[in-house]
Structure 1
Amino acid sequence: MRTGIATVCLSGTLKEKMQACAIAGFDGIEIFEQDLVTSPLSPEQVRGMAADLGLDLDLYQPFRDFDGVTPDLLKANLRRAEAKFALMSRLGMDTILVCSNVATATIDDDGLRAEQLAQLAGLAGDHGINVAYEALAWGKYVNDYEHAYRLVEMVDHPNLGTCLDSFHILSRDWETSHIEAFNPEKIFFVQVADAPKLSMDVLSWSRHYRVFPGEGQFDLAKFMGHVVRAGYTGPVSLEVFNDVFRQSDVERTAVDAMRSLIWLEEQSAQWLAGNAPEGTPAAGGAHRRRYPMELATLPKVNEPAGFNFAEVKADDTAQLEKLLGQLGFEFEGRHRTKDVQLWTMGQARVIINEQAASHTEPSIAALGFDVDSPVIASARAQQLKAPVVARKVQADEEVFQGISAPDSTEIFLCQGSPDGTAAWTHEFGEGLEHHGAGTSAVIDHVNLAQPWQHFDEAVLFYTSALALEPQPFAEVPSPSGLVRSQVMETTDGAVRLVLNLAPVQQASGHKTYQEHIAFAVDDLVATARAARDRGLDFLQIPANYYEDLDARFDLEPGFLATLKELNLLYDRDADGEFLHFYTATVGSVFFEMVERRGGYNGYGAPNAPVRHAVQYDSLHP
């Protein structure tokens, strides 16, 4: 699959955008007209730079408001078009995007539109230019991709074809299977963009909220499957208008964009394999049908089987050590060659890392996941543009396969064990690899705060590299604003990762992103009592919360009194119950202890505003 991206997706100058696209590995680019108009580079210099970078110049865009106009305006439009065709010749480009008219169309007549498009195609042909006609979702008279294609067929000119844009099609819920009936020689270009499902006018949705494939909710694999079946062989190019992307680091955004196309290519291949056309044998195996566009796939991996460990980095570890001890964790010792500690409770393992931690407040630094094959999982992640994290090891030490997440959290892919043990723990003391076997404490979930400019990138990263499934996102109120929360989890819930786009909280003049690790136990009340006896500083829950809790659930008075006594929070749904408590925050980290009863699969979301408010008060006494 030939990959492309529109320069409008990225921040920076045209030169910076082109360099970033080449670094990310794109085959070609679309030049957005404004990027060229504002650039000090001449068209000839842009052409030469593209050649030096190994980039094709695939599409010049957009040419707006051409069709359905009066004769006088048509004359002016043709003059404008001829100037652009001459410019494209200087650039060495041969395809221009023409959008269906939004602003100046006054005549709703397909015959007239076809006649005017025919004149445009003839003029384009004189200059060796192809016109890709696209139906904008908010076009005045033409807003349906099938309507645009019918006009192309009516004109029947070799230099006029259509452009298929996933956003304009899927935002209107148009059926995509009809693409397969299109003449592939008349599909001149394909653009893809994802988006969250929003209730708003389509123009605003398009201009501000498009995201890269895998970061939204559109069924792009199905869309691409129909495009492939139609016989299209040209570029698949990203056209994403997004306020965040156009403020973010250009090289990083380009890599994220490339990752999204790699992921989409794999997802599209899987859709084709599992959805044979009607009247053909079931897809898959030796009978898989081949299409003119070849779709590459990645090394296949299963979703993680569970958390292997969580790592917290800190300069001064005294508070962390005290907190873990109060929760009931056991200190297992220091690593024999590294300045790190191991603490365990059952199968929940926490590493305290003091290496290169000068002036570092406690923060979550790394997560380990149990996977079937760390080497294969790492190879997949690297093909998805994940940066490699290397750690120095000596003889007889575990070699972890490490990659870096968008928020710089280090992700280590560990060899899973059926009994939940970890062989690497012997590096902290002989026999520890079997310590805690048979007990029930595990890491239940980890909550990571995401910088605003990398939130969507993180969703795609964990989806594509770790096979976690994004759940519907939620917004949680806090005293400093709404917190967008995105749960990523495995099918069985063995791995639960919560990504929060949290407001920046101010503490003593420093910005603090709060994150936490949650541990599941069988008996939370007993765990809380034991922790209290060890002197644990619980997050103090207001009495008003328990009055509201009683009104909502009509709890048994003795049970309600126990919850209040121990600062426990409670939630219940049709499947079960959820008990949990929080510790005070150390640096940017706090801990949560939970007990899941029955089939409860949530996170106590109704209690999140209470937690945010109490933590806010602790930072603003």
Structure 2
Amino acid sequence: MRTSIATVCLSGTLEEKMRACAAAGFDGIEIFEQDLIVSPHSPEEIRGLAAELDLSLDLFQPFRDFEGVTEELLLENLYRAEAKFALMNRLGIDTMLVCSNVATATVDDDDVAASQLRRMGEVAAGYGIRLAYEALAWGKYVNDFEHAQRIVDLADHPNVGTCLDSFHILSRGADPAGIEKIPAEKIFFVQLADAPELSLDVLSWSRHYRVFPGEGAFDLTGFMTHLVRSGYNGPVSLEVFNDVFRQTAEERTAVDAMRSLIWLEERTSVALADHGGAPGNDGGFPAYPMELATLPAVAQPTGFNFAEVKAGDSGAVEELLFQLGLHCEGRHRTKPVQLWSAGGARVIINQQQARGLAPAVSALGLDVQDPLAAASRAVQLKAQPVSRRSQADEAVLQAVSAPDSTEIFLCEATGDGTVAWAEEFGSDGVVEGEPLITHIDHINLSQPWQHFDEAVLFYESTLSLVPRASQEVPSPMGLVRSQVMCSSDGAVRLALNIAPMGLEQPHGGADYPQHVAFACRDVVALARQARQRGLDFLPVPANYYEDLQARFRLGDDMLDVLQSLNLLYDRDEDGEFLHFYTATVGNVFFEVVERRARYDGYGAPNAPVRLASQYQRARSGRRDG
């Protein structure tokens, strides 16, 4: 599949955008007219740079408000078009996007629109230019792709075809199955964009909230299967108008964009195979001209192998882990790294190259069936591989960097809970009795606001984690958006949070705190032990417990236990949830949870209580670290 992207998707100058697209691996680009107009480089220089970067120039766009006009205005439009055709010849671009008229059309007649496009096609033919006619979702008279195709058919000119744009088709709720009825040779270009579900006028929705495939709610896999079945084999391009993307580094956005296309390509290949045919196969199923790349298939992670906290001064973190009942297994034999554990929960404290760093979650390990295949898949999806210094007799773990720079280690799942790398740590003694903590229940990672959608796509595409419905939680400084990514069986639960920018400052740092949540068999017993060991619990206001009693009618004894230990509580039709939080150290804190029966949530009603309490402690200057 030939990949392309519109320069309007990215920030920066035209030259910077082109270099970012080439570095990300795109085959070609669409040049947005405004990017060329403001560029100090001549069309010939842009053409030369594209050749140097091995980028094809696939489309010049947009040409607006052409058809459905009076003869007088048509002549003006043809003059304007011919000037652009000459410019395209200088650029070396042979296809122009012509949008359906939204402003100047006064003649609602398909025959008139077709005849005017035919006249434009005749002029374009003299320059070797093709016209890709696109139905804008808010077009004055033409606003759906099948109507646009009827006009193309009426125009009946070899230089006039159609452009299919997933946003304009899917935002109107149209059935993309009609794509298969369009002759492949008349589909001149294809543009893709995803979008979240919003109750908004379609123009505003389009201009500000488009996202890359996999980051929204559209069924782009279904769209692509119809496109492949049509026989189309030209560029598949991204055209995404998004305020955030145009404010962030173009190199990073281009990588995110390329990842989305690679993943969509794989999903489309799988969907076609599931319905009796895949591109290029020779097993008796239909073969299509468009060849779709595939990725190494990987199963979902089976659990957390470890969580890592990096800190210059780790004393406060070590104290918290001790108070929670974790045991120090020892120090790594060659590195300033400690291993703490309880049951199947393992926490690594890493002091390598950490001078002056406040404690923060820096890495997590996931159990996977085939670490090499999982790492290969992630790298093909544009993740950056991570390597750490190790001795010849030490385990070498596969790892990649997530968009927020958290390092994701892919560890071999053994089934019996043993980990080979743990042998590299000494032991400070034998722990008696069965620990109350059993494993890591979930990890909460804060995300920069401008890269939240990128993070969701990364974890879904590389690790096959499934996004659950996002939630917004009120805090003293605004709404905190939370998106849980999890494996189907709940063995891996990763919560991605984006906090209001104003919430960051009261916590004393640039990062919104992250946390590791431990599952336990008896949270009341563990809380009592932790209190005896001097744990500084995150305080819970008395008003919370009065509200708790009103909502759940708990017994007085149970309510007293909860309040005395700063425990929070939730209940639904599937079970109960008890949990507590520690104080925050640097940019990390810990949570202990007990799930009863089949409770599968995270105590969402309690999140505002936690956020308010953390805010109060930060403001009162009681935060450690």
> Could you tell me the TM-score, scaled by structure 1's length?
0.97
Tell me by how many angstroms 1:501 deviates: 1.0
Instruction: Show the counterpart of 1:174.
Output: 174
Q: What percent of counterpart residues are identical?
A: 66
Counterpart-to-counterpart distance in 2, 1:471 and 1:434: 38
1:287–1:236 distance in 2 versus 1, CA, 3 Å: same
Alignment of 1:397-412 (within 5 A): 397-412=394-409
Q: CA deviation at 1:235?
A: 0.3
Cα distance in 1 for partners of 2:598, 2:108 equals 58
Residue in structure 2 matching 1:455, options 452, 472, 476? 452
The one-letter amino acid paired with 1:490 is S
Q: What's 1:209 paired with?
A: 209
2:325–2:435 Cα contact (<8 Å) kept: no
Cα deviation digits, residues 388-427 of structure 1 (max 9, x gap): 1101111321110010000000110001111222121111
Partner of 2:37: 37
What is the match of residue 187 of structure 1? 187
Render the CA deviation track for 1:266-287: whole Å, top value 9, x for unaligned: 011011111248xxx9x99934
Residue aligning to 2:369? 372
Distance 1:14 1:304, change over 3 A: same
Paired residue type of 1:159:
N
- The superposition leaves residues 330-363 of structure 1 with CA deviations (integer Å, 9 ceiling, x where unpaired) of 1111011110001001000000001100000000
CA distance, structure 2, for counterparts of residue 563 and residue 284 of structure 1: 61
2:98 matched residue in structure 1: 98
What code does the residue aligned with 2:495 have? V
| Alpha-carbon separation, structure 2, partners of 1:431 and 1:375 | 33
Distance 1:376 1:250 in 2: 29
Q: Amino acid of the residue matched to residue 177 of structure 2?
A: S
Alignment match, 1:396: 393
Q: Deviations over 1:39-79 (max 9, x none)?
A: 00101111111011100000000011111112221111111
CA shift in 2, pair 1:582/1:31, >3 Å: same
Task: Give the equivalent residue in structure 2 for 1:62.
Answer: 62
| d(CA) in 1 for partners of 2:544, 2:366 | 36
Q: Determine if the alignment matches structure 1 residue 348 to structure 2 residue 379.
A: no
Q: Secondary structure at the match of 2:354?
A: coil
| 1:522-579 superposed Cα distances (whole Å, 9 cap, x missing partner) | 1111111111111111010011111111111111221111111111111111111111
Separation (CA, whole Å) in 2 of partners of 1:599 and 1:112:
64
Matching of residues 544-583 of structure 1 within 5 Å: 544-583=543-582
Give 3-state SS (helix, strand or coil) of 2:367's partner: strand
Distance 2:467 2:210 in 1: 17
Is 1:526 the counterpart of 2:525? The answer is: yes
CA drift of 1:512 comes to 3.5
Q: CA deviation at 1:471?
A: 1.2
Aligned residue number for residue 536 of structure 1 = 535
Q: Does 1:608 align with 2:616?
A: no
| AA aligned opposite 1:81 | A
For 2:77 and 2:299, the matched residues in 1 are separated by 55
Secondary structure at 1:286's aligned position in 2?
A: coil
8 Å Cα contact 1:506/1:619 also seen in 2:
no
Residue 327 (1) aligns with residue 324 (2) = yes
- CA-CA distance at 1:141 after TM superposition: 1.2
Contact map agreement 1:345 1:436 (CA 8 A) in 2: no
Q: Do 2:404 and 2:447's aligned partners in 1 also have CA atoms closer than 8 Å? A: yes
Question: How far apart are residue 438 of structure 1 and its match?
Answer: 9.4
Aligned to 1:225: 225
Asked if 2 retains the 8 angstrom alpha-carbon contact of 1:347 and 1:437, the reply is no
**What is the Cα deviation at residue 509 of structure 1?**
5.9
Gaps of 5+ in 2: 621-625
- Partners in 1 of 2:141 and 2:300 — Cα distance? 47
**Which of the residues 384, 387, 391 maps onto 2:384?**
387
1:507: Cα distance to partner? Answer: 4.0
Residue 27 of structure 1 deviates from its aligned partner by 0.5
- What one-letter code is carried by the residue in structure 1 that aligns with 2:415? P
Distance 2:440 2:281 in 1: 38
Q: Structure 1's 228 and 437: CA in aligned 2 closer, same or farther, altered over 3 A?
A: farther
Match of 2:596 in 1: 597
SS in 2 for 1:506: helix
Distance in 1, Cα, partners of 2:434 & 2:24: 45
Letter aligned with residue 193 of structure 1:
A
Q: How much has 1:436 moved relative to structure 2?
A: 9.5
Give the drift of 1:446: 0.5
Deviation at 1:511, TM superposition (A): 2.5
- The answer (yes or no) to whether the contact 1:209–1:241 under 8 Å persists in 2 is yes
1:488 aligns with 2:482: no
8 A Cα contact 1:304 1:372, kept in partner: yes
Give the letter for the 1:63 counterpart.
Answer: F
Q: Could you tell me which amino acid in structure 1 is paired with residue 558 of structure 2?
A: F
Residues 461-500 of structure 1 mapped to structure 2, 5 A cutoff: 461-500=458-497
Structure 2 counterpart of 1:300, from 297, 300, 316: 297
Q: Which moved more, 1:226-235 or 1:568-577?
A: 568-577
CA distance in 2, matches of 1:373, 1:415: 6
Residues 600 and 26 of structure 1, relative CA distance in 2, 3 Å threshold: same
Stretches of structure 1 that go unaligned for 5 or more consecutive residues are none
**Alignment-derived partner of residue 359 in structure 2:** 362
- 245 and 433 in structure 1: CA distance in 2 versus 1, 3 angstrom threshold: farther
RMSD of equivalent CA atoms: 1.9
Structure 2 residue aligned with 1:273:
273
Amino acid at match of 1:573: D
Contact 1:426-1:432 within 8 A present in 2 as well: no
Whole-angstrom distance in 1 between the partners of 2:57 and 2:510: 43
In structure 2, relative to structure 1, the CA distance for the partners of 1:284 and 1:500 (3 Å cut) is farther
- The CA deviation at 1:433 is 13
Moved over 2 A (4+): 283-289, 429-440, 507-512
Alignment check: 8 A CA contact 2:446 2:511 kept: no
- What is the SS of the residue equivalent to 2:591? strand
The one-letter amino acid paired with 1:518 is A
Output the amino acid matched with 1:192: L
1:328 and 1:450 mapped to 2: Cα distance?
A: 29
Shift in CA distance, 339/186, structure 1 to aligned 2, threshold 3 Å: same
1:49 alignment partner in structure 2: 49
* Separation in 2, partners of 1:139, 1:217: 23
Q: Which amino acid aligns with 1:379?
A: S
One-letter code aligned to 1:295: L
Three-state SS of the structure 2 residue aligned to 1:590 is strand
